[in-house]
Structure 1
Amino acid sequence: MSWIFGRSKPQDTGMPMEGGEPGSGPTAGTISNDQGLTKAEKKAMEAYRFDSSALERAAEAAKTLEKSRHAKEALDLSKMQESTRQSEYMAKVKEYEAHIEQAKVEQRRIDHEERRKTLIEETKQQQQRAQYQDQLARRRYDDQLAQQQKAQEENLKKQEESVARQEAMRRQTIEHEIEMKEKNRLKILEHELRAKAKIDRENRDLTLEQIRLRAQENRTTVLEGIKTAGSVLGAGAEAMLTDWDKVLKAVGGLSLLALGIYSAKGATGVTARYVEARIGKPTLVGETSRFALLDAIKHPFQYLKKLRSKPSDALQGVILNPKLEERLRDIAIATKNTRINRGLYRNILMYGPPGTGKTMFSKRLANHSGMDYAIMSGGDVAPMGKDAVTAIHKVFDWAKTSRRGLILFVDEADAFLRKRSSERISEELRSALNAFLYRTSEQNPKFMLVLASNTPEQFDYALNDRLDEMVEFTLPGLEERERLVRLYFDKFVLQPATEGAKRFKLEQFDYGATCSKIAKICEGMSGREISKLGVSWQASVYASEDGILREKMVIDRAYEAAHQHKQKMAWLSEEERLDHKSITGGIAKPST
């Protein structure tokens, strides 16, 4: 049984095998027969050879084992080994099955992970596809807006060209009519002169005779008048000189007459100035909240309403940058307390682009402080010439008579308060500037001076010394523009629509989002331009067929206003370049 355990090989007994001598047999015969074959053929034959000696040795070992006394123990041991190998084999089979199940679970996990990644990738692809479609829609919308704007610009250009052609034709027609009228007038005049000359030639002798007769009569009349006057004056002088009482009476009467004329002239001037200061207003003042006696008589209800009015917020209806609003509120509070305590008012300069709320704040400041306001334009001073100095003195004399205090707002102050060393200022304007500086040399408890200018760098240095505080008004930012758009949309659109105005209806759309979009479109525009945009919305409603304001109309008007603003800025830049060329070329433009 040694072949079963693999411990030893069966021993060679040296006995002869079937078929011949030991060592002889099929193998020996095969070897002898294989001598004539090649090596490749020999190797091929080795696979088909069968060695029976091993079986014989195994059979011999089995016989020996059966005869042994340990045969039963060896058989039991062999069975136990076989059972052990079977158990190990079953354990390996179960382990292999467990590996297979684990592999299946892992495969299911991998499949689930792949499906999850696939879903994530599909979601990402869908998002990218949606974003791409949104971008395409935005591009199409932008292209549509660009095409609409281009079409509007082309239509506007065509309209401008048509208007220019019509204006040129009208101008040519007017010039032609004027030329024809002038020719006809000259022909008529020439005909009249020729006719008159012909009549004069025909009546020359008669005319000369009439002239001689009139001259002779005039000479005779003059001589007789001289003689009569001399005799009368001589008799009167002789009578007066001979009577001294008459001489004294005549001298006293003439003296009293001269004194009465002089006193009446002075009293008339004083009365006129008092009436002008109390009842009327100076010529330079264009607008004022101060009611005079004549205004109270003409508008009694407004005068009573003003007396009953209460001070309001200085920034009511004024939308500015938060920091600027905070500073202006401090100025308003300080001005109000100055009036209450009868202190000295501070002079303020407000500078910045036009339409940013300088004039509006001045009016609100006067109402908040309980004061009167008066608005004068610097451009009105230059046309007055030599009378400008007198007019300025009248303005300050009138301002001192206000019992409530007066805020004197000078708009476009750089028009006549520019540097005295400038070559563009005339002698009259220089005198007016000196008068203004004289009247503002000291702070006054009666009036407060507020100047407004777009170019403060042109002010005379002496005027800068009169200013106590300078406030810059800038163009509204995005948040301020949105507040302004909402304010004027409510004022010019929502209120008329809700109050039931005739031919004024409003389409339902997102007003807040539309106002936010319009605020972005109106970049660079001032508050006045945005208020005009609100008026243009009303005009769109009144010009429409059905009287309905739609969102597209609102947006189109905003784009049109933005385009007009850019065009104005382009014109302004061109004008500045022309001014620069004219100054450098030695051509001084007249002051405005």
Structure 2
Amino acid sequence: MSWLFGLNKGQQEPPGVPGFPEPPSPPGGSGDGGDKNKPKDKWSNFDPTGLERAAKAARELDQSRHAKEAINLAKVQEETLQMEQQAKIKEYEAAVEQLKNEQIRVQAEERRKTLNEETKQHQARAQYQDKLARQRYEDQLRQQQLQNEENLRRQEDSVQKQEAMRRATVEHEMELRHKNEMLRIEAEARAQAKVERENADIIREQIRLKAAEHRQTVLESIKTAGTVFGEGFRTFISDWDKVTATVAGLTLLAVGVYTAKNATGVAGRYIEARLGKPSLVRDTSRITVAEAVKHPIKITKRLYSKIQDALEGVILSPRLEERVRDIAIATRNTKANKGLYRNILMYGPPGTGKTLFAKKLAMHSGMDYAIMTGGDVAPMGREGVTAMHKVFDWAGTSKRGLLLFVDEADAFLRKRSTEKISEDLRATLNAFLYRTGEQSNKFMLVLASNQPEQFDWAINDRIDEIVHFDLPGLEERERLVRLYFDKYVLQPASEGKQRLKVAQFDYGKKCSELSKLTEGMSGREISKLGVAWQAAAYASEDGILTEAMIDARVADAIRQHQQKMAWLKAEGKEGAKEIGKNPLQPLLEGTQV
């Protein structure tokens, strides 16, 4: 194994091997003479024993029989090292290639970002240019509008000036004509006065002669008439046949007048009961002769109209909708089967849809409806009983069935034991109770009231269904706001027939916000909000309804609603004080109920 150290057989080993220090020279040996002052070299402290041991091991290995195996093992190790080195080189090349790919991907990503940024810049530039173009166009339109307005104003000023000049000219002409007319009349009057002064004697003589002739004519006429009447009366008295015929004729005439008068009254009452409308009925869907003559097209459409849904346009809570829909279905089936109608009481705050549902219920059931209010009964006094009977007689003649809706029913159906009710109103209430004592298949009674606790107990006994209409909740308010915003704002704006436009904003979001702000409001108050929005657009200069205008009207409505609630609260406190004056009043009312 001496070749491992770069030596061949038969050669002497070199004095030094690379990587190992040379052995140091013995002290006191030749060459330095033991001079301590001479500088030491790097081999001065070298120990040769290790080198000797290595040389010895190499010689033993060279002489060993396993030399070839060691050599092969060394070769394999060398090849393994080379393969590992090549693998490392390939890994390095793969890493370099991956790095290049990453650089290419990063460059592509940077290029894509650059293109996106350039695209955004181009879009922004295009939008800015479009905005500038729109602004220039709007400025041109504004300038053109201002110019047109200026021209129109100038034309109006010119027309006004011309009109003023024409008016001044006409006034001047009229003034001159008036002066000339006055001068002419004055001249004629002077001339006439002069002529009359000159002919005064002749005129007086003519007047005296005319008066004498007229007196003579009247006297002769009186004498002639007296003579003729006297002769005729004597002739009539002397002839008894003529006297008898005259008396019979006068008797027959009196009988005919009396009979015609009574027949006319009977016919009038029949026509009023069958074709007319009672005075207590404010509105009705029944066709009268007067309406048929005035509005024939409207009446024809009503006759051929389809049956409507009972809740079309009526927004209520889901529970209340289910209740009233059951009532509508039952009423329709009752009419179809000619059964007995059930009477309904609807109570709750004003503006919650009681009147609207009553109309829809009648239309859905195929019935006629008639609306009367309790406030019209009290002022009628003694005529209230007759008017009440006329209403029920008229209701009984309906062939389709009549839904009689009494709004503000507590105005005349209050307790009869109270001192506030008059005798006439008590008699009218008794007539109402008499006509509603039994259920009918001709008419259906629907009462509406804000204070049902004031009803007489006999009225409560005639009620079959009691329905409470409460103020709308959040979901119902949102549906109402959307309904009236579409009805009073969006539809007129989309049709283009009216002077109304709507600014660009999120309508659905705005309706949701308004439904939260209008807490405590009734459906009627929300519908008035829609009318207020429409009026605000009409009152603006350009006819555009903006979001700020909507918010302003809503704020006003909220303040008004709060003021009304404050009044109602104060009124409730005063009522509590009045009840507190008589401690037995609640007990008495409870006993009556």
TM-score above 0.5: yes
| C-alpha distance in 2 between matches for 1:442 and 1:344 | 10
2:471 to 471, 475, 478: 475
For 1:366, give the aligned amino acid. Answer: A
| C-alpha distance in 2 between matches for 1:378 and 1:488 | 29
SS in 2 for 1:280: coil
2:393 is aligned to 397
1:292 Cα deviation after fit: 1.1
1:278 is aligned to 274
1:553 is aligned to 549
2:434 is aligned to 438
Q: Deviations over 1:442-479 (max 9, x none)?
A: 11111111000000000000111111111110000001
> Is 1:493 matched with 2:494?
no
Q: How does 1:192-341 map to 2 (within 5 A)?
A: 259-341=255-337
Q: Deviations over 1:182-237 (max 9, x none)?
A: xxxxxxxxxxxxxxxxxxxxxxxxxxxxxxxxxxxxxxxxxxxxxxxxxx9xx99x
1:529 is aligned to 525
> Is 1:429 matched with 2:425?
yes
Q: Deviations over 1:295-349 (max 9, x none)?
A: 1111110011011101010000000011111111111111111111111111111
For 2:349, give the aligned amino acid. Answer: P
| C-alpha distance in 1 between matches for 2:242 and 2:455 | 67
Alignment TM-score, normalising by the size of structure 1: 0.56
2:345 is aligned to 349
1:511 Cα deviation after fit: 1.1
Alignment TM-score, normalising by the size of structure 2: 0.56
| C-alpha distance in 2 between matches for 1:460 and 1:340 | 32
> Is 1:387 matched with 2:383?
yes
| C-alpha distance in 2 between matches for 1:464 and 1:263 | 46
| C-alpha distance in 1 between matches for 2:459 and 2:344 | 11
2:416 to 414, 420, 435: 420
1:538 is aligned to 534
1:279 Cα deviation after fit: 2.7
For 1:506, give the aligned amino acid. Answer: V
2:212 is aligned to none
1:550 Cα deviation after fit: 1.6
1:264 Cα deviation after fit: 3.0
1:541 Cα deviation after fit: 1.0
Q: How does 1:129-148 map to 2 (within 5 A)?
A: none
| C-alpha distance in 1 between matches for 2:257 and 2:504 | 78
Where does structure 2 lack aligned partners over 5 or more consecutive residues?
A: 1-229, 583-593
| C-alpha distance in 2 between matches for 1:271 and 1:408 | 25
2:372 is aligned to 376
Q: Which moved more, 1:453-462 or 1:291-300?
A: 291-300
For 1:398, give the aligned amino acid. Answer: W
Where does structure 1 lack aligned partners over 5 or more consecutive residues?
A: 1-231, 587-592
1:259 Cα deviation after fit: 4.9
Q: How does 1:29-68 map to 2 (within 5 A)?
A: none
SS in 2 for 1:374: strand
For 1:323, give the aligned amino acid. Answer: R
1:417 Cα deviation after fit: 0.4
| C-alpha distance in 2 between matches for 1:501 and 1:265 | 55
| C-alpha distance in 1 between matches for 2:465 and 2:289 | 35
1:254 Cα deviation after fit: 7.7
294 and 503 in structure 1: CA distance in 2 versus 1, 3 angstrom threshold:
closer
1:512 is aligned to 508
SS in 2 for 1:284: coil
| C-alpha distance in 2 between matches for 1:455 and 1:350 | 10
1:262 Cα deviation after fit: 4.5
SS in 2 for 1:421: coil
SS in 2 for 1:285: coil
Q: Deviations over 1:384-433 (max 9, x none)?
A: 10000000000111111111111100000000000000111000110000
256 and 537 in structure 1: CA distance in 2 versus 1, 3 angstrom threshold:
same
For 2:549, give the aligned amino acid. Answer: M
Q: Which moved more, 1:353-362 or 1:286-295?
A: 286-295
SS in 2 for 1:303: helix
SS in 2 for 1:570: helix
| C-alpha distance in 2 between matches for 1:581 and 1:257 | 69
486 and 268 in structure 1: CA distance in 2 versus 1, 3 angstrom threshold:
same
1:447 to 443, 446, 452: 443
Contact 1:350 1:470 in 2 (8 A): yes
Q: Deviations over 1:55-110 (max 9, x none)?
A: xxxxxxxxxxxxxxxxxxxxxxxxxxxxxxxxxxxxxxxxxxxxxxxxxxxxxxxx
Contact 1:280 1:292 in 2 (8 A): yes
The alignment of Structure 1 onto Structure 2 pairs a total of residues equal to: 351
Contact 1:373 1:408 in 2 (8 A): yes
Q: Which moved more, 1:417-426 or 1:294-303?
A: 294-303
1:562 to 558, 563, 567: 558
| C-alpha distance in 2 between matches for 1:433 and 1:565 | 35
For 1:538, give the aligned amino acid. Answer: Q
| C-alpha distance in 2 between matches for 1:250 and 1:462 | 62
Q: Deviations over 1:364-394 (max 9, x none)?
A: 1111111111100100001110000000000
Contact 1:278 1:293 in 2 (8 A): no
Root-mean-square deviation (CA, aligned residues, Å) is 2.7
For 1:329, give the aligned amino acid. Answer: R
| C-alpha distance in 2 between matches for 1:476 and 1:437 | 34
1:510 Cα deviation after fit: 1.4
| C-alpha distance in 1 between matches for 2:462 and 2:264 | 36
How high is the sequence identity, in percent, across the aligned residues? 68
Q: Deviations over 1:550-570 (max 9, x none)?
A: 222212221221111010111
Contact 1:321 1:476 in 2 (8 A): yes
1:574 is aligned to 570
Q: Deviations over 1:241-297 (max 9, x none)?
A: xx9x99998997787566545533432221011111233200000111111122111
SS in 2 for 1:375: strand
Q: Deviations over 1:538-589 (max 9, x none)?
A: 1111122222212222122212211110101111222344455567679xxx
Contact 1:358 1:473 in 2 (8 A): yes
1:364 to 360, 365, 369: 360
Q: Deviations over 1:27-67 (max 9, x none)?
A: xxxxxxxxxxxxxxxxxxxxxxxxxxxxxxxxxxxxxxxxx
584 and 246 in structure 1: CA distance in 2 versus 1, 3 angstrom threshold:
farther
